[in-house]
Structure 1
Amino acid sequence: MSAIDFFAVTPGGGEAHQKILRAPMQFDLLHIAPLVALAHLLGVIAACHAILNTRTSQGAVAWAVSLVAMPYLTLVPYLFLGRSKFQGYADARRLENESLRTQAHPHAWDEHDSSAGYPTDALGHQLVRSLTHLGGMPFLPGNSVRTLVNGEATFAAILEAIDQARSYIIVQFFIVRDDALGEMLKDALLAKAAQGVRIYFLYDSIGSFDLPHRYVTTLRAAGVEVHPFATHRRFVNRFQLNFRNHRKIVSVDGERAFVGGHNVGVEYLGAKPPLSPWRDTHIEVRGPVIASIQFVFTEDWYWATQTLPSFEMPAYEPNGEGMHCIVMPTGPADKQETCSLFFVEAINAARERIWITTPYLVPDEAVFAALRLAVLRGVDVRILIPSRRDHYVVFEASKLYAYDSVRAGIRIFRYRPGFLHQKVVLIDNVAAAVGSANLDNRSFRLNFEIMVLTVDRGFAAEVEAMLLSDFAQAYEIDRSEYRQAPAFRRVTMHVARLFAPIL
């Protein structure tokens, strides 16, 4: 007799069949219910952690609500991206930096400090005081700085300097790719290593996640000291992706240093068609301020390796006609939110104009308030941003911030030819800063950045000419960019802005 015949002829067979069919469903519910309860319990625990460890109240509220309401969707992202206040790491990093400053003071800074000289006359005593205390670095005189516009000029100068190296080379980038440009850099370093030049190479483990192991092993086999920068020494931090070293530093023999927005990849030479031509800026620095730049690298190297690199600091050569520069290193281990405060002070210092170029416009409230107040003072406030996107969520959030900026009287321009990646600040006609920091929360609070502020009318004029050329290739936006956008696009902008604390 078949099962069907059995249920057909057995009294109550239909009811028994229904019980058998319900059994798997009940079995599944018995197993799913505890998993759901566990997910919500973990969500509540993670929400408490977010409240205690997220820097901003907006970010804490956003994470807490989403973790309690939708733990199945948000627990894993929180594991990787949740914390923006890395207290244990920050304390360890800060203690190591303070110890390092006492062990390996890079320069007789106090003897050559120019903070009471020309920078004070040009920017004011209060601004100079706040910047030197904020970054822990002094203004140093006797430097020369020149702009390197776009990738070809930047890497031509870097590779030329490497080719002329006699003693040591420092290389640090956020992104290093194993492409044509990466091969050029590797070959140049291998050639100098064969000549006995000491080489220290630091790359970010997240930014360079796809760098092949063979690239690193080839350099190490030749005697190059290569290490990734990571913030997960302890297992509890193993999955953290938020805290990245976004600095780009090259220094050769303490004589020439390079800082700016370029990474190592062919896209930075304009070889990535959707975004090309790539617009970026680096600077070449000569003079005693290289000691400050190299010390920033030393702090990062010491954190990554627990060893001090062996290289000489540049000798100080007094030159009253040189440029006055200060290095501003910023990062999540700082006692203050150094990067955000640096932008606030730079904006507050402006009396005639403040021009900023940035690929990402996601300012915090302090920076946005400073920009609006500058407009009220009658300052010419301009921000140049891309017209093409490389990160969808950031680009959509930037549109809403651009709309709010225009409503406040801030002039927003979009660069037409290709993707704009440069990070430049021009203050009146006396000072300009170039480096790696963007106008977004990630640079303000999550990334390690470096900016070099130069107080010199000649250099400011050089930067002004460069930016005027950029503005000539841009168009100014108005409120219609937001108002005429389709309804679904406006909703997308508002949703994207919810992620501002981690953008």
Structure 2
Amino acid sequence: MAFELPAAVGWLVLSLHTGLSLLCAWHALLTKREPRSALAWIGVTLLLPLGGPLLYLAFGVNRIRTRGLHGRPALPLEFGYEQAEDAEPAPPDVPAGAGGPGGPIARASGRISHRPCLPGNTAELLHNGEQAYPAMIEAIRSAERYIYLSTYIFGARGAARDLIDALKAAQRRGVTVCVLIDGLGQWYTAARARPLLKEAGVRVAEFLPLRLWPPSLHVNMRNHRKVLVVDGEVAFTGGMNIADYHCVAGGGRNRVIDLHLRLRGPVVGQMETVFAEDWHFATGQALPEPAPAGSSPGSASCRVITDGPNEDLDRLALVLLVAASAAQRRISIMTPYFLPSRELLGALQAAALRGVQVSVLLPGKNNLPYVHWATRNMLWELLQHGVEVRYQPPPFVHSKLLLIDEDYAQLGSANLDPRSLRLNFELNVELYDPALNTLLADHFATAWERSRPVTLTEISQRRLAVRTRDALCWLFSPYL
């Protein structure tokens, strides 16, 4: 005999689904900023019995506010967060071109980011784990007061273990050590740093940890920032996680090439403030305010730009649009994941059509093949308007770099895809430093010369099955 649910139970399930579906659809209607996103989520919640509302609650709801959360006092914004109401004058002896510290990109970025562009910094480029990790360990070993570290992935083997040991030694000698690891990113490595650090008494927090109770199912909205601040004197940021695969000299199969920055000067205070906000959000604990920045002989003017699904939403996207629109001679983009918004796509097309040299450098073999396939579905839109695209040979290049003319550079954790620019918490640094920007331009040019051009013919002659696969991946690009 077939098992039948009592009629009352059936009506209860139907009523629960109807009520929850209507509530979720109403929430999507009121909160989504794009009509396509709102319509898609409304369809999911109404058409999938119970599963639709559950998917929406897990993936579609943004519950994040990092300032003034649940009645907690918002962190003060006085250390480098002043609204840049007026154009910022260029420092002496620095040309105020379109991408210079007194140019239109800097003025717009100040208004968008609510942070001033600070002169008097030194910025040093670090390649891969071979250069970045020893520099970071040296800074940790010299710490006298505090160490603040935030990362997406923190492994516990090879070079990563050396960094763990340096943090533990700092804790033993009385330095305040605070480590913030993303709640999802920490599971990307089999050997994890968090248990080893906690055993040593290091203050370790997870950013939005995944758990069933109390419910915390934020698969999206991850903290993708990479920040190390030591004593308010030196800071590191860029695209590198802390894992042994960033050491590429050994020739391992899964090597990852990347760039990082070592910074000194007033911009360190801006980075420290960002860490303090993230730490407060994750733990409810307030860290001491950064000390006023001291004088520095550095020639770099710098600014931190944060982005995330909170009050910082769309800041990086807006700065990128301004930068592409203001470029006069060249736009150089190096990124591992390239799924630009329609607005940024149009800005790059328009720049190429008005004679700007637009160059996009992507990895030839991606660690996320479905992102690579989705990108190939839209490359023809750039190629047909004169944008040049090339694929870098292996190993996988994870660097994120933007160069505008000879004046402006941006380097950090953000990729040019919806996940970085809409869902993740990201941090990039603007760099106005002729010497460093020349070094970055040379690095880009060297990588460009050894890379393979992508042609419109190659893209248009893909087999039908491949085009279908690429288009299906592109269809889900907002969630990749």
TM-score normalised to structure 2 length: 0.88
Cα 1:80/1:70, change in 2 over 3 Å: same
Q: Which residue of 1 aligns with 2:171?
A: 193
Larger Rg: 1
Cα 1:184/1:77, change in 2 over 3 Å: farther
Q: Which amino acid aligns with 2:392?
A: Y
Query: Which runs of structure 2 are paired with 1:23-422 in the superposition (5 Å)?
Result: 23-24=1-2, 27=4, 37=14, 41=18, 42-43=20-21, 45-71=23-49, 76-83=54-61, 86=62, 88-90=63-65, 99-102=74-77, 105-106=78-79, 115-118=88-91, 121-122=96-97, 123=100, 124-209=102-187, 215-230=193-208, 238-270=216-248, 273-276=252-255, 278-310=256-288, 312-313=290-291, 315-317=293-295, 319=297, 322-334=299-311, 336-422=313-399
* Structure 1: distance between partners of 2:73 and 2:306: 14
Tell me the CA shift for residue 358 of structure 1. Answer: 0.8
Tell me the CA shift for residue 78 of structure 1. Answer: 3.4
Tell me the CA shift for residue 183 of structure 1. Answer: 1.9
Q: 5+ residue gaps in structure 2?
A: none
Cα 1:397/1:210, change in 2 over 3 Å: closer
Q: 5+ residue gaps in structure 1?
A: 1-22
Q: Which residue of 2 aligns with 1:17?
A: none
Tell me the CA shift for residue 61 of structure 1. Answer: 2.5
Contact kept, 8 Å, 1:254 with 1:314, in 2: the verdict is no
Cα 1:335/1:172, change in 2 over 3 Å: closer
Deviation track 1:243-280 (CA, whole Å, cap 9, x = no partner) reads 1111000111222211100001122224795543x221
Contact kept, 8 Å, 1:58 with 1:501, in 2: the verdict is no
Q: Which amino acid aligns with 1:258?
A: F
Deviation track 1:282-315 (CA, whole Å, cap 9, x = no partner) reads 1111111111111111111111122222475363
Contact kept, 8 Å, 1:357 with 1:424, in 2: the verdict is yes
Q: Which amino acid aligns with 1:227?
A: A
Contact kept, 8 Å, 1:120 with 1:128, in 2: the verdict is no
Q: Which amino acid aligns with 1:90?
A: R
Q: Which residue of 2 aligns with 1:7?
A: none
* Structure 2: distance between partners of 1:477 and 1:213: 38
SS in 1 for 2:287: coil
SS in 1 for 2:185: coil
Residue range with higher mean Cα deviation, 362-371 or 38-47:
38-47
* Structure 2: distance between partners of 1:254 and 1:337: 28
SS in 2 for 1:208: helix
Tell me the CA shift for residue 237 of structure 1. Answer: 6.6
Tell me the CA shift for residue 494 of structure 1. Answer: 1.4
Residue range with higher mean Cα deviation, 91-100 or 289-298:
91-100
Deviation track 1:305-361 (CA, whole Å, cap 9, x = no partner) reads 222224753632154x62111111111112651121121112122110110111111
Q: Which residue of 2 aligns with 1:446?
A: 423
Cα 1:61/1:489, change in 2 over 3 Å: farther
Cα 1:109/1:91, change in 2 over 3 Å: closer
Q: Which residue of 1 aligns with 2:474?
A: 497
Task: Provide the identity percentage.
Answer: 30
Q: Which residue of 2 aligns with 1:6?
A: none
Q: Which residue of 2 aligns with 1:13?
A: none
* Structure 2: distance between partners of 1:349 and 1:80: 39
Cα 1:318/1:213, change in 2 over 3 Å: closer
SS in 1 for 2:428: strand
TM-score normalised to structure 1 length: 0.84
Contact kept, 8 Å, 2:227 with 2:236, in 1: the verdict is yes
Residue range with higher mean Cα deviation, 226-235 or 385-394:
226-235
Tell me the CA shift for residue 75 of structure 1. Answer: 5.1
SS in 1 for 2:402: strand
Query: Which runs of structure 2 are paired with 1:447-462 in the superposition (5 Å)?
Result: 447-462=424-439
Q: Which amino acid aligns with 2:38?
A: A
Tell me the CA shift for residue 91 of structure 1. Answer: 7.6
Tell me the CA shift for residue 99 of structure 1. Answer: 2.8
Contact kept, 8 Å, 1:173 with 1:204, in 2: the verdict is yes
* Structure 2: distance between partners of 1:472 and 1:38: 63
